[in-house]
Amino acid sequence: MNQRISRRQALAGLAAGGAAVAVAIPAHLHAAEGATPKLKGRVNHSVCRWCYGKIPLDDLCIAAKAMGITSIDLLGPDEWATAAKHGLTCAMVSVPGTTIARGFNRVEHHDKLIESYEAVIPKAAEAGLKNVICLSGNREGLDDEQGMKNCAAGVKRLLPLAEQKKITLVMELLNSKVDHKDYQCDRTAWGIELCKQVGSERFKLLYDIYHMQIMEGDLISTIKQAAVYIAHYHTGGVPGRAEIDQTQEINYPAVVRAIVDTGYQGFIAQEFIPRGPDPLKSLREAVAICDV
């Protein structure tokens, strides 16, 4: 995978092709090496599908399960059955047709977004899934106060259905400095204020550790203060969204320990782009790093 590929590019490629092109994966990659690791049981592990787009989903599920991972993040409705077949859930559902740039901060996007989410939310509930991702969209000259009001108005249109189906809409915090220029929901404080304006337990935040390290740092204190508003976490090495090993600047064991200490019982999903020749080895190592 190109080292500079973004999630936006990867998801667009998967959507355009209908499915990832199967590549010749060495036999040892079809399952994790060695026995299933002894995990401590304090962390629910997940992995984002788009980071492993060259590996067929069935193979990724087999390998993930062997590592002790119990979820694949960012699957669309046509992929949930594959994960379920392997005994895995999808801790964060992706909505087909939605994009990072065109989100709830623009009133003119609301009708189309509502239609897309109203199609997916009942299906997610029927499949026993809990969280559906949503995005603010780019500013494009819109000030943060008005963007927040627009997001709240759009999300509130979905709340009756989300509350009825017991589905949580989860807006992701992304950095607007490196990866997603102009994205509006780029600060934890902005996301928290939006949660307050929406005023429902069925709307929370996806705290992406990689993105928030780039935007604001102070990860552990922020996580402790914002815990009640956070429904999900993503990882990634800084700089470059590479492996979360000793080559990057975040102390992931300390951060994950802080997450666990808040009483969090959801999932932490690996969302780094493997750089080495053995992507599943990198994933195994990341699970071990985060299994505090």
107-126 burial string, b = 16+ CB within 10 Å, else e?
eebbeebbeebeebbeebbe
Name the residue range of residue 75's domain.
40-290
Q: Are 169 and 203 in contact, with CB atoms under 8 Å apart?
A: yes
pLDDT of residue 38: 87
Segment 26-46 shows an average pLDDT of: 68
**34 pLDDT above the threshold of 90:** no
pLDDT of residue 276: 86
Give per-residue pLDDT as tens, 191-205. Answer: 999 999 999 999 999
**124 pLDDT above the threshold of 80:** yes
In a domain? residue 11: no
H or E element at residue 8: helix 7-17
In a domain? residue 10: no
In a domain? residue 70: yes
Give per-residue pLDDT as tens, 2-21. Answer: 333 445 444 444 333 333 33
- In whole angstroms, give the CA distance from residue 12 to residue 67: 28
pLDDT of residue 75: 98
Which of 23 and 138 is assigned the larger pLDDT?
138
H or E element at residue 205: strand 203-208
Domain with 61 in it: what CATH number?
3.20.20.150
In a domain? residue 2: no
Regarding pTM above 0.75, the answer is yes
Share of the chain above pLDDT 90, in %: 87
User: Structural domain tally of the chain?
Assistant: 1
In a domain? residue 101: yes
pLDDT of residue 39: 95
**31 pLDDT above the threshold of 50:** no
